[in-house]
Amino acid sequence: MKFKINKVMKNIWLFVTCIALSMSAYSQEDDYDMDENIYGDIIPKHSFTIELGLPVGTSNKAFQSMMQGLVRISPYYQFTLKNHLAFGIGANYNYFKVNPFRVPEKVTGGFHSAGGFVKVGYEKFHSMRFGTDYGLKIGYNSNQFATDSNATNLGGPFVDNAFFIEPTIGLVLTSGEFTSYRFVVGYTYSGNDFNTTNLGIKSSGGYSASEFSKNTQFMTFGFGFTYYFKQY
């Protein structure tokens, strides 16, 4: 399983790299004869972005197996300086559904993770059409395991709040003078771990205590839309 995951990750990163290189080459060829002063038609200052993606568990084998990522939503405001340093603030929401075919006991429900973050990054347009946005999100999430078992035993969801960090990369393609679309990849390191007791069940499912002690980590692949409501 580990070999397959590593192979998939390598293929994904290769795919992302190829997209970035091809977009950059295409844009540079298109703008070859243009004056350097008008090289980019978007110079970000104030912008609003909303990202929609699919989270995929990568660490803690029990979490990776028993929880199935369904949706990731992340809206945020970003302020970019003339030197391309960027600072943002926003919110995240992630939802993982319990995989009924992988849990050792019958249980239904899911894992809700919602919170806020600040972002530090580097946003730059390399041509009139193509740009990149590298960032690091640092925030705090409310993590709730809302299952039927927890509702019966606890009277509500099991809560395990935690800080998180998330490096991200966005490959940006402009669609107009004030708008752009992007392909986004992020990797979340969360301060909480995962145990079957979080779901309200007693069986360990054959996983060891050392495996349960690993922090929750997941990768997100998605797309975003940005509106630049003020530029330099």
Res. 7: pLDDT tops 80: no
Res. 106: pLDDT tops 70: yes
Res. 179: pLDDT tops 50: yes
Give pLDDT tens digits for 153-162. 999 999 999 9
Exposure of 86 by Cβ count < 10 A (0-12 exposed, 13-18 middle, 19+ buried)? buried
Compute, in degrees rounded to 10, the torsion defined by CA atoms 173, 179, 184, 187: 140
Gap between the Cα atoms of 43 and 20, Å rounded: 19
Mean per-residue pLDDT for 33-43?
Answer: 53
Mean per-residue pLDDT for 201-216?
Answer: 86
Helix (H, G, I), strand (E, B) or coil at 10: helix
CA-based max dimension of the chain: 69
Res. 1: pLDDT tops 80: no
For the chain, percent of residues with pLDDT exceeding 70: 82
**What's the pLDDT score for residue 30?**
47
Helix (H, G, I), strand (E, B) or coil at 89: strand
